[in-house]
């Protein structure tokens, strides 16, 4: 039997595979065999299909049409491709929505999010959940033992298009049950949420609505409970499919494709039910769509910011127990959905592919095989143009396949820095930002970026992770601190950096009785007695860095580690623990991370602008994201297995010890 990858061999001993997302239902059957032949010719060995095909699999209620899918799978398999088969539950067909109109989600204004695109369902709707399980069961019965099928993908991009939060009746009813389970007694809920404030007390669980359509902001504890509930709904929805697939297709990996910079549900919880965490990598679309500076958006327009892809590689590796992960969709050219959609610099598709390998991916699968001339994504590149002529991405994928064959397996991943991230951190900072743009996800990204500019390797881990083997643990912004983390930190012999807002809330969204950093006072003796957010330009300048956006005032016996020119303390130090009392803006984050890395005894290499380093096994992999050639620092000596010391734009080098 095929497997998803060859990572059933000892970890990191198998070469990464390449694949492509393919939609046989979009193309004449006569074209399938030639498509499959060309895929294999380009060095691809996996093909991901089926995730949007419900209307063709089941054209009418209960009438399945397997013929075309049987033949498509057989053709792909005959060419030598292993199939990753998607459950089609992201695109329920019209007949289903018509029979069950209340299955759609409602937005916060109460408007239905109707049929005509995709993801038109509410995670809480019991009827739709049953339908999703039914179609999954039918597919798994048909293909669960098919030798072509190497893995299953559940649904597609949970939460895409803002679909985790639904304000439907089903969600409201489910939320009430969830609350009753969690609190037992409504008086306990009132107490936990502080509902006496503004007379928000409830007499029963049945009286509690969803936190939308309120006059001003709803109680943050109410909002957080709703976020937790909604996240649990995603986990439960996914798990129902996973259970069917495990029953009917044992031994095959189950994967899902997560998104970029997306935190609406707890990916650690969903990941716990998966074998492989997949994610969809669109570096140029993400750069244009998210909060990067205008200067970065221009400088990296055709490459993507050098930390975008790597950040997610290192994040999703921490989302399954096994650490197995893959890129299930890789941008192959211009996309259609950002505000601006430039073409990648020649070489970037290859660079992104090889970088995923260096971070330990099992598979990179390009999205999509051929650009589709109709419907929503007409301007989205594929590896082929709509007329089947090769697009630039195809040659780069083929080159990457040759590079991978020459390089062999990536080698064991290093352990040096653990960066702690939790999804509820981003919910808390989103619900109560206290200042524009101060979200935990971006604090994590800034700290990550600073570490990577020092040439360090980072694992992004949940707060429950074991910290053995790391030299440095960075907690960029973690309002709710689980006891397990405090215990792990107390035993951790390495350096620790605690960032702003950490330990600042209880699990019920209240200030801790002892004031922030709450539980973290066990490792860092301080009280945060006042916080302020700072408008752009309101800064306390230090030596090459500044306190900007956010500042905490501490009462502490710790020593000042970084002091601004006007005497304001940006960072405190107590033994091996640093407390960053300001937002991790790039220059300040650089300074703090450099100090912590030095004290941790880590080998650092100052990266020239745009260059990034990733170690695996005994190799150093270098990636040039800048539009100009860069010189790899002389502090990284060795033999070049790939590339040269002067690396051109989009260049990749692999260096081994002499
Ligand atoms: C992803 C999605 C794909 C496709 C792609 C376009 O979000 O999973 O189906 O729409 O974006 O870039």
Kindly give the interhelix angle for 348-358 and 392-407, rounded to the nearest 10 degrees: 30
Q: Tokens in use for 46?
A: 């996996």
Please, are residues 611 and 625 in contact by the beta-carbon 8 Å criterion?
A: yes
- Averaged pLDDT for residues 479-495: 98
Pocket-testing residue among 157, 257, 289, 382, ligand 1, by greatest number of atoms within 8 A of Cβ: 157
Question: What's the chain's average pLDDT?
Answer: 97
Ligand 1: centre distance to CA 260 (Å): 11
Taking CA atoms only, the protein residue closest to ligand 1 atom 4 is 367
Residue from 160, 327, 330 whose mutation best tests the ligand 1 pocket (most atoms within 8 A of CB): 160
pLDDT of 149 reads: 97
| C-alpha 596 – ligand 1 centre gap (Å) | 39
Question: Pocket residues for ligand 1 (CB within 6 Å)?
Answer: 156-157, 160, 280, 282, 329, 335, 337, 367, 377, 380
Distance 343 CA to ligand 1 centre (A): 17
- Kindly give the number of the ligand 1 atom that is closest to the alpha carbon of 335: 12
Best CA proximity match to 446, nearest among 325, 339, 590: 590
Q: Please, which pLDDT band fits residue 8 given cuts at 50, 70 and 90?
A: low
| 3-state DSSP percent of the chain in helix, strand and coil, to 5 | 35, 20, 45
For the segment 142-172, what is each residue's pLDDT rounded down to a tens digit?
A: 999 999 999 999 999 999 999 999 999 999 9
Atom 9, ligand 1: residue with shortest CA distance: 156
Name the pLDDT band for 12 (thresholds 50, 70, 90).
low
What is the tens place of the pLDDT at every residue in 614-656? 999 999 999 999 999 999 999 999 999 999 999 999 999 999 9
pLDDT of residue 183: 98
Residue 377 alpha carbon to ligand 1 centre in Å: 9
Tokens of 583: 């937002």
Percent of residues, the chain, with pLDDT higher than 70: 98
Question: Which atom of ligand 1 is nearest to 337's Cα?
Answer: 12
Dist CA 546 CA 544 (whole Å): 7
3-state secondary structure 241-298: HHHHHHHHCCCCEEEEEECCCCCCCCHHHHHCCCCEEEEEECHHHHHHHCCCCHHHHH
Indicate which atom in ligand 1 lies nearest the CA of residue 282. 12
* Radius of gyration, CA atoms only, the chain: 25
Substitution site in 337, 344, 352 for ligand 1 pocket (most atoms within 8 Å of beta carbon): 337
Distances (CA, A) of 12 to 17, 206, 272, 331: 12, 52, 21, 24
- CA 405 to ligand 1 center in whole angstroms: 28
CB 326 within 8 A of CB 364: yes
Whose C-alpha lies nearest to ligand 1, atom 5? 367
Measured distance CA(560)–CA(9) in Å, rounded? 49
Ligand 1 centre to CA of 330 (Å) is: 10
| Residue 34 bears catalytic tag | no
Q: What is the distance of C-alpha 265 from the center of its chain?
A: 11
Whether residue 496 contacts residue 489, with contact meaning beta carbons closer than 8 Å, is answered with yes
E strands present in 534-581:
540-541, 546-547, 550-556, 559-563, 569-574, 577-580
pLDDT-derived band at 6 (thresholds 50, 70, 90) equals low
Identify the three-state secondary structure at position 495: strand
Q: Which atom of ligand 1 is nearest to 376's Cα?
A: 10
Backbone angles phi, psi at 90, to 5 degrees: -80, -15
Half-sphere exposure of 495 (CA within 13 A, CB side): 20
Catalytic residue among 51, 58, 264, 329: 329
DSSP 346: T
Identify whether the C-beta of residue 395 lies closer than 8 Å to the C-beta of residue 403: no
Pocket test of ligand 1: the residue of 262, 329, 365, 383 to mutate, having most ligand atoms within 8 Å of its CB, is 329
CA-proximal residue: ligand 1, atom 12 (nearest): 335
Q: How far is the C-alpha of 93 from the C-alpha of 62, rounded, in Å?
A: 12
Q: How many helices (H) and strands (E) does the chain have?
A: 18, 25
CA of 116 to the centre of ligand 1 (A): 16
Residue 526: φ, ψ to 5°: -160, 160
Enter the tokens of residue 133.
């399980």
Q: Distances in Å between the alpha carbon of 155 and those of 121, 234, 237, 301?
A: 12, 11, 10, 31
Q: How far, in Å, CA of 259 to CA of 557, rounded?
A: 43
pLDDT reported for residue 7: 54
Domain segments of the chain as ranges: 11-164+229-407, 169-222, 417-600
Question: For residue 259, how far is its CA from the centre of ligand 1 (angstroms)?
Answer: 9
Task: Select the CATH number that applies to the domain covering 417-600 from these four: 3.40.50.970, 3.40.50.10420, 3.30.465.10, 3.40.50.880.
Answer: 3.40.50.880
Query: What's the confidence (pLDDT) of residue 611?
Result: 98
Report how far residue 255's alpha carbon sits from residue 278's, in angstroms, rounded to the nearest whole number: 6
Q: Is position 329 annotated as part of the catalytic site?
A: yes
What is the secondary structure of 139-167 as a DSSP string? HHHHHTT-TTEEEEE-SSSTTTTT-S---
pLDDT at 286 over 60: yes
pLDDT recorded at residue 158:
98
Please give the Cα distance from 506 to 480 (Å, whole number): 6
Q: 1 pLDDT exceeds 80?
A: no
- The residue assigned the tokens 């081994």 is 656
- Cβ 202 vs Cβ 195: under 8 Å: yes
Q: Does the pLDDT value for residue 329 go beyond 80?
A: yes
449: confidence class by pLDDT, cuts 50, 70, 90: very high
Distance CA 483, CA 474 (A): 17
Nearest atom in ligand 1 to 259's CA: 7
Is the preceding peptide bond at 517 cis, omega within 30 degrees of 0? yes
Paired tokens of 461: 């881990």
What are the tokens at 102? 């209340």
Q: Is 331 helix (H, G, I), strand (E, B) or coil?
A: coil
CATH class name, domain 11-164+229-407 = alpha beta
d(CA 377, CA 233): 29
Ligand 1 atom closest to Cα of 51? 9
When pLDDT is averaged across residues 452-479 and rounded to a whole number, the result is 98
What average pLDDT does this structure show over 251-255? Answer: 97
pLDDT at 139: 98
Tokens for 355, please give them.
């970088």
Per-residue confidence band for 11, with pLDDT thresholds at 50, 70 and 90 = low
**Where do runs of H (alpha helix) occur along 435-543?**
440-453, 483-491
pLDDT band at 4 (very low <50, low <70, confident <90, very high): confident
Catalytic residue (choose from 58, 131, 157, 362): 157
Q: How many Cβ atoms from other residues are within 10 Å of residue 538's Cβ?
A: 12
Q: What is the pLDDT of residue 14?
A: 82
Burial of 423 (0-12, 13-18, 19+ CB in 10 A): buried
Whole-number Å distance, alpha carbon 257 to ligand 1 midpoint, is 10
pLDDT tens column, 178-207:
999 999 999 999 999 999 999 999 999 999
Q: Of 96, 20, 84, 106, which is closest to residue 57 (Cα–Cα)?
A: 96
* Start-end of H helices in 411-530: 423-431, 440-453, 483-491
Confidence at residue 452, expressed as pLDDT on a 0 to 100 scale: 98
Give residue-wise pLDDT tens across range 501-545: 999 999 999 999 999 999 999 999 999 999 999 999 999 999 999
pLDDT digits (tens, 9 = 90+) for 216-230: 999 999 999 999 999
Candidate from 377, 382, 393 with most ligand 1 atoms within 8 A of CB, to mutate: 377
Work out the average pLDDT over 87-98.
98
Report how far ligand 1's centroid is from the alpha carbon of 392 (Å). Answer: 19
The reported pLDDT for the residue numbered 437 is: 87
Give the β-pairing of 526-533 and 550-556. antiparallel
CA 368 to CA 21: how far, in whole Å? 5
């Amino acid at each position: 039997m095929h497997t998803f990858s060859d990572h059933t061999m000892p970890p990191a001993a198998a070469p990464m595979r390449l694949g492509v997302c393919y939609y046989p239902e979009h193309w004449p059957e006569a074209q399938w065999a030639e498509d499959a032949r060309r895929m294999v010719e380009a060095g691809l060995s996996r093909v991901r299909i089926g995730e949007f095909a419900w209307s063709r699999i089941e054209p009418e209620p209960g009438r399945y049409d397997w013929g075309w899918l049987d033949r498509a799978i057989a053709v792909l398999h005959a060419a030598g491709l292993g199939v990753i088969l998607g459950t089609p539950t992201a695109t329920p067909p019209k007949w289903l929505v018509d029979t069950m109109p209340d299955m759609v989600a409602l937005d916060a204004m109460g408007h239905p999010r109707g049929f005509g695109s995709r993801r038109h369902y509410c995670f809480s709707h019991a009827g739709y959940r049953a339908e999703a399980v039914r179609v999954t069961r039918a597919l798994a019965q048909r293909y669960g033992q098919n030798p072509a099928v190497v893995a299953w993908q559940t649904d597609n991009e949970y939460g895409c298009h803002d679909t985790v939060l639904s304000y439907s009746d089903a969600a409201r009813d489910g939320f009430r049950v969830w609350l009753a389970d969690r609190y037992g007694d409504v008086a306990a809920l009132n107490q936990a949420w502080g509902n006496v404030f503004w007379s928000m007390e409830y007499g029963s669980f049945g009286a509690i609505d969803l936190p939308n359509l309120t006059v001003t902001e709803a109680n943050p504890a109410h909002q957080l409970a709703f976020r937790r509930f909604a996240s649990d709904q995603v986990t439960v929805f996914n798990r129902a499919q996973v259970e069917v697939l495990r029953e009917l297709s044992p031994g095959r990996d189950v994967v899902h494709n997560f998104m970029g910079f997306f935190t609406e549900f707890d990916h650690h919880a969903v990941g716990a039910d998966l074998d492989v965490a997949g994610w969809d990598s669109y570096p140029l679309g993400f750069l244009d769509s998210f909060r990067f500076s205008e200067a970065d958006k221009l400088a990296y327009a055709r490459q993507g910011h050098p930390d975008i892809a790597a950040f997610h590689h290192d994040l999703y590796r921490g989302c399954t127990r096994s650490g197995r992960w893959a890129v299930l969709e890789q941008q192959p050219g211009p996309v259609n959905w950002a505000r601006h959609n430039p073409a990648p610099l020649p070489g970037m598709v290859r660079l992104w592919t090889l970088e995923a390998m260096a971070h330990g991916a099992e598979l990179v699968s390009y999205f999509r095989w051929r650009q589709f001339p109709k419907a929503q994504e007409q301007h989205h590149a594929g590896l082929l143009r709509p007329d089947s002529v090769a697009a630039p991405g195809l040659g780069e994928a083929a080159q990457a396949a040759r590079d991978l064959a020459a390089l062999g397996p990536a080698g064991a991943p290093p352990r040096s820095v653990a960066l702690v991230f939790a999804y509820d951190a981003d919910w808390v900072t989103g619900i109560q930002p206290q200042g524009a743009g101060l979200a935990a996800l971006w604090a994590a990204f800034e700290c990550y970026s600073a570490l990577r500019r020092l040439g360090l390797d980072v694992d992004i881990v949940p707060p429950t992770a074991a910290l053995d083997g790391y030299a440095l643990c960075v907690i960029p912004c973690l309002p709710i601190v689980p006891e397990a983390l405090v215990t792990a930190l107390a035993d951790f012999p390495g350096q620790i950096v605690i960032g702003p807002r950490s330990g600042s809330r209880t699990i019920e969204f209240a200030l801790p009785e002892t004031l922030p950093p709450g539980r973290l006072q066990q490792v860092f003796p301080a009280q945060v007695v006042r916080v302020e957010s700072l408008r752009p330009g309101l800064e306390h300048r230090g030596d090459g860095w500044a306190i900007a956006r956010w500042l905490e005032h501490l009462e502490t016996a710790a020593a000042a580690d970084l002091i601004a020119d006007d005497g304001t303390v940006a960072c405190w130090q107590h033994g091996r623990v640093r407390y960053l009392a300001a937002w991790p803006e790039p220059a300040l984050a650089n300074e703090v991370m450099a100090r912590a890395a030095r004290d941790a005894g880590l080998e650092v290499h100052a990266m020239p602008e745009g260059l990034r380093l990733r170690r695996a096994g005994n190799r150093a992999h270098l990636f040039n994201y800048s539009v100009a050639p860069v010189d790899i620092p002389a502090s990284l000596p060795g033999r070049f297995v790939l590339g040269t010391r002067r690396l051109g734009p989009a260049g990749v080098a692999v260096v081994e010890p002499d």
